Amino acid sequence: MIVLPGPLWLIGCGNMGGAMLDRWIADGVDPAAVTVITRTPRDLPGGVAHATTPPVERPAIVVLAMKPQQLDTVASALAPHIAGVPLLISILAGVEEAALAHRFDAGTIVRAMPNLPVAIGQGVVALHSHGSDADARTTAETLMRPLGLVEWIDDAALFDAVTALSGCGPGFVFRFIDALAAAGTALGLPEAQAQRLAIATVQGSATMAADADVPPATLADRVASPGGSTRQGLNVLDDDDALKRLLAATLAASERRNAEMAAAARGRA
């Protein structure tokens, strides 16, 4: 159960913000302590307040969960009402701490990068902050724990890489599942059945990898008997590091885009 140090304002409540809110309430956050601020009304968990403008009561925590492109619009309307807020958490992709500090007066700013599976409590949340307030950092981590694995990133320069890997990663995994199913369909399996088999295979393999005491590469070699069918398939993926090169290029493209968005946010500061 999470006990908040005071009122929490959630700015924006789209897919990710809504998923985070649902997990917080499920983990025991008092709905009466949360106010969602959006431009238009929306369905919210029972007891959670909604506002289209900042309330009079000052918050202890503000979570920015709107689109990054809305940063300046939100800052101009919100900043005067949260001046001195003890903790500001931002999940805005590509918006660096300095850009946030330029717009908001907050005791501690924490960047957070959650991914989509936080909706089922099995996500990844990367955190970074230049702030040294131990209580604020603990509050941020405590708030994120119900969402899944929480990892602090020491070097802010690596946040774009983390975003590419775990933030964007579910999209790449979903595409892999789709491709695996399509390959099964090409071998003659009914499409729906191939998809069920692909999803269950990835789900079970991920669970096994999470529980194993060896790296995934070792598990792959254990599955592949010399001269067997798995080994033949792995030979295709391993030839000239084909799969590794493809994913390296995929993550590099996402990392570049994150860097571009960060540069754009700096330029507006």
Domain end marker among 154, 187, 212: 154
Token reading at 172: 């790449």
262 vs 17 pLDDT, higher one: 17
d(Cα 223, Cα 136) in Å, to the nearest integer? 45
Question: Residue 155, Cβ neighbours under 10 Å: how many?
Answer: 9
Residue 31: partners with Cβ closer than 8 Å, 6 or more residues away: 25, 45, 46, 47, 48
Instruction: Report yes or no: 184 and 194 within 8 Å, Cβ to Cβ.
Output: yes
Per the structure, the complete domain to which residue 41 belongs is given by 8-154
Q: What is the pLDDT of residues 18-66, one digit of tens each?
A: 999 999 999 999 999 999 999 988 889 999 999 999 999 999 999 999 9
Predicted structure pTM score = 0.89
Token reading at 182: 């399509």
Domain end marker among 98, 127, 154: 154
Residue 190 resides in a domain: yes
Q: How confident is the model at residue 2 (pLDDT cuts 50, 70, 90)?
A: confident
Amino acid 268: pLDDT: 64
Amino acid 124: pLDDT: 97
Question: Residue 203: exposed, middle, or buried by beta-carbon count in 10 A (0-12, 13-18, 19+)?
Answer: exposed
User: What total of structural domains would you count in the chain?
Assistant: 2
Q: Which of 78, 84, 110, 71 is nearest to 9 (CA)?
A: 78
Mark whether 25 and 134 lie in a shared domain: yes
Cβ burial 211-234 (10 Å sphere, 16+ → b, else e): eeeeeeeeebeeebeeeeeeeeeb
Q: What secondary structure letter does DSSP report for 105?
A: -
Mark whether 53 and 184 lie in a shared domain: no
